Amino acid sequence: MDSALRRPGAVRKRRALTAAQVRVLRIAGWVLLAVLAVLPLLWVLFFAPTTGKFATSFGSAVHDPKDFLITVLNSVTAAGLYFVVASGFTLIFGLMRVVNMAHGVFFLLGGYVALRLQRDMVGGGSSFGLQSSQVNLTHWIVPALAGTAIVAASGLVMQQLVLRWTQGQDLRQALITIAISIILADQMLAHFGGIAEDIAWPRNFDTFTNVHVSGVIYTTTRLVILGIAIGIGLLLWVWLKRTRTGMVIRAGVDDRAMVSALGINIQLTFAIAFVVGSALAGLGGVIGGSFASLAPGVDANWLLYSLVVVIIGGMGSLGGAAIGALLLGFTSNFSAAYLPANYTYYSIIFTFVLVAFVLAVRPLGLFGRPA
Amino acid sequence: MIQTRAITPDRVVAVAALVLAVSAPLYVSSYWVGQLLTQMLFLGIAAASMIFLSAYGGMVSLAQISIYGIAGFVLGNATTNGNTKGLNLGWSPWWGIVVGIAIAVGMALLFGGLANRSVGIYFLMITLTYSVIANLFFGQVTDVSGFGGISGIPAPGAIGPVDAHTNRLYYVALVVALAVYALLRYLVRTPFGLTLQGVRDDPVRMASLGYNVPLHRTIAFAFAGFIAAIGGVLFVWWNGHIDPASIDLGATIDLLVIAVVGGLYRLEGAWVGALFFVIINNYSQRIGFIGPRFHTLIGAIFLVIVLVSPGGLVGLWEQVLKLFSGRRRGPLDRNPIELGQAEPSV
């Protein structure tokens, strides 16, 4: 053992790079950035063909501005929903260093609670579920609030019962939330079944809106999602920047021990942050369940979106979550729409490339700071 | 921790376990050998790769099941011939192993290279992202798999049709599992393994001593990927079929459950946890009030283990030994779940 310690492994000393090597590396980095960012942009704007081996569905933006604009709107509205879900995740993580692996399951729980309440309120519906024509605004808003509230309460119970007593052991807390997500996901499978269902939008939203640009007529529901997301973003921003609780939370993100030493009840702040963060997952589940559908396995996708958004944006940063959500929304929608039609299913690779690129350049995310 | 006595409880149990494992086909049913024990062996190999990273590298990786799956999917694409999804290259099963493991290790190098500057929960989150993306990739890309997966993947002729010769695959898996265990035990005693443990305990100090910390992490990750890929190859031979559900979030978490229930800081825990898992999985349905709710049961067990005995079943065993011998372990006896960023609790 002693001799082994004296001749350490084959991979050892790292020599300092010379100035020339640094320059070469920097140029290589910019070239890579150009390949990853500029070439896709050029492809979408000018070169995407509509015929031949690499035919895309729409062709380039110059060729077909209408579908380009629709894809932009799709990206932004998807980003809105990603932001609602991921901002809760990043809020909890930033303050408490808790990676809430149950976030995806909370999303699903919020959706299912709202779904059941809506069915009960309207009364039945066919085997295909409710039609939007049967649903008025109250039939959507009340279930949405109920789903959000129940998830917020579940989050609070989880935080108070198990997470509070393991504070500071972040890996153990992550494992605890995984255990809870296993149990909750299995119970939801038992109670709500394995068939994909969706929440009906109220009839007021289930229309089309004329955007008045290039003759685009767009679904109102997606614009509603975007509106809710922007509203929530503004509320969170005002809450964090302008109120006392928000100030305590921002201080706690930077230095919990100091905040606690100043006589502030940090446990109360933790509880508030956990309630708000879980509520956002629940609300996201209601919106996501109206926009797409609810089924076992959907929770994994939304956990992935939350992880990707906070890994890109930087953990614990609200602005980072917004930027991360936009990048994810644009990457996933544009790669699905502008890859050659025979290859659109490769779009998932672009999500990976996005994560990989950000990690390679900034391991803590675009807006991340060291803990 | 220097063992002076030749006969320790650990060694007695190890020899007994080995004898039982070798002689198992003589007295248990072929269902047990073919289903439970073989499954225990390859799940244990995959879990061992996770425990190796956690115990000696300080990295809890959730990407092991995706590496395992990549090896399995490549093997499936390379060796099937005609009647299933995928590329149907029709190569010999032996080439399939080489290519499958090589590509899986290559992906592990890439994954590890991208995550090598992250530790603790950041590493957990990044590797979970890899795992979910790999699952979605194989679900969506119909050229290599698609939703239904690849069926009819042959095992090499010497192992033969697995259903007819359950014992052959069992013994192959047993030998491979022992080899993996021996290899990992050897590796952590090499200069590389010792440096890796230094990196786990204090990366800043190791970096200032001149060691390339990210490179050590990357190599350790790729090596663990190699082990996980071996597990994946055995899984595909055993199952004859692989689909995206084999590597979904549930499977990722199942492997984590195996590693944590077994014990995240000793390699033996991998197979202990795997045996526990397959037995519960197989027999819990017969318990009336549990029925099909296997995951609720395993989730509850997982929760109790994490809360009560973070060292898992192996940790419980060590605590029992400590109770009886009255001796305390040295400072090496540590708890990996409580590692991560040292932060004062408030």
Q: What is the pLDDT of residue A16?
A: 63
* Residues forming a β-bridge with B44: none
Instruction: List the single residue in A175, A260, A303 with the smallest CB-CB distance to B260.
Output: A175
**Contact at 8 Å (CB) between B64 and B123?**
no
CB < 8 Å to B285, chain A: none
Q: Please state the pTM of the whole predicted model.
A: 0.88
Q: How far apart are CA A104 and CA A93, in angstroms?
A: 14
Structure tokens at A143: 């279930």
Q: In this model, does residue B335 exceed pLDDT 60? A: no
Contacts for B172 with CB less than 8 Å, ≥ 6 apart: B159, B234
Count A/B contacts: CB-CB distance under 8 Å: 181
C-beta atoms of B343 and A162 within 8 A = no
From B79's Cα to the closest Cα of chain A, the distance in A is: 23
Q: What is the pLDDT of residue A3?
A: 39
Which ipTM did the prediction report?
A: 0.87
Digit-coded pLDDT (tens) for B137-160: 998 888 888 888 888 888 887 777
How far, in Å, are A57, A111, A136, A137, B280 from residue A132 at the CA level?
30, 17, 8, 10, 45
Q: What is the pLDDT of residue B42?
A: 95
For residue A113, give the 3-state DSSP assignment.
Answer: helix
- Given CB atoms, is B187 within the 8 Å cutoff of chain A? no
Longest Cα separation, chain A: 79
Banded model confidence at residue B333, pLDDT cuts 50, 70, 90: very low
Instruction: Name the range with the highest mean pLDDT among A206-220, A254-268, B45-59.
Output: B45-59
Which B residues, 263 through 302, put their C-beta within 8 Å of a C-beta on chain A?
292-296, 298-300, 302
- For an interface test with A, the pick among B128, B199, B255, B256 (most A C-beta atoms closer than 10 Å) comes out as B128
- The one-letter amino acid code at B216 reads H
Q: How far apart are CA B284 and CA B294, in angstroms?
A: 6
The closest of B84, B59, B83, B62 to B73, measured between CA atoms, is B84
Q: What are phi and psi of A119, to 5 degrees?
A: -60, -40
Mean pLDDT of B61-85: 89
**Contact at 8 Å (CB) between A260 and B346?**
yes
* Residues forming a β-bridge with A218: A209
- Given CB atoms, is B175 within the 8 Å cutoff of chain A? no
How far, in Å, are A227, B74, B105, B232 from residue B67 at the CA level?
41, 11, 8, 8
**Contact at 8 Å (CB) between B37 and B170?**
yes
CB < 8 Å to B120, chain A: 170-171
- Count the neighbouring beta carbons within 10 Å of the beta carbon of residue A126: 8
Q: In this model, does residue B326 exceed pLDDT 80? A: no
Q: What is the mean pLDDT of chain A?
A: 86
Among all chains, which residue has been given the structure tokens 């309120």?
A: A121
Q: What's the first-to-final CA gap in chain A, in angstroms? A: 36
Q: What is the pLDDT of residue A127?
A: 58
Q: In this model, does residue B329 exceed pLDDT 80? A: no
Residue of B nearest to A357 (CA): B114
**Contact at 8 Å (CB) between B41 and B271?**
yes
For residue A12, give the 3-state DSSP assignment.
Answer: coil
Helix axis angle for B249-262 and B64-79, nearest 10°, is 120
C-beta atoms of A170 and B343 within 8 A = yes
Residue of B nearest to A177 (CA): B303
Q: When comparing pLDDT for A137 and A150, which is higher?
A: A150
Q: What is the pLDDT of residue B2?
A: 53
**Contact at 8 Å (CB) between B33 and B215?**
no
Mean pLDDT of A64-89: 92
Q: How far apart are CA A314 and CA A336, in angstroms?
A: 25
Digit-coded pLDDT (tens) for A310-327: 989 887 788 999 999 999
Q: In this model, does residue B344 exceed pLDDT 70? A: no
Q: What is the pLDDT of residue B217?
A: 95
Q: How many residues does chain B have?
A: 346
Q: How far apart are CA B121 and CA B60, in angstroms?
A: 8
C-beta atoms of B338 and A169 within 8 A = yes
The pLDDT > 90 percentage for chain A reads: 38
Banded model confidence at residue A80, pLDDT cuts 50, 70, 90: very high
Among all chains, which residue has been given the structure tokens 């029992």?
A: B320
Which B residues, 84 through 113, put their C-beta within 8 Å of a C-beta on chain A?
110
The pLDDT > 90 percentage for chain B reads: 52
- For an interface test with A, the pick among B54, B66, B118, B124 (most A C-beta atoms closer than 10 Å) comes out as B124
- Given CB atoms, is B321 within the 8 Å cutoff of chain A? no
Question: ∠ at Cα A24 (A23, A25), nearest 5°?
Answer: 90
Q: How far is CA B48 from the centre of its chain?
A: 4
The closest of A354, A363, A270, A371 to A309, measured between CA atoms, is A354
Question: ∠ at Cα A181 (A176, A183), nearest 5°?
Answer: 100
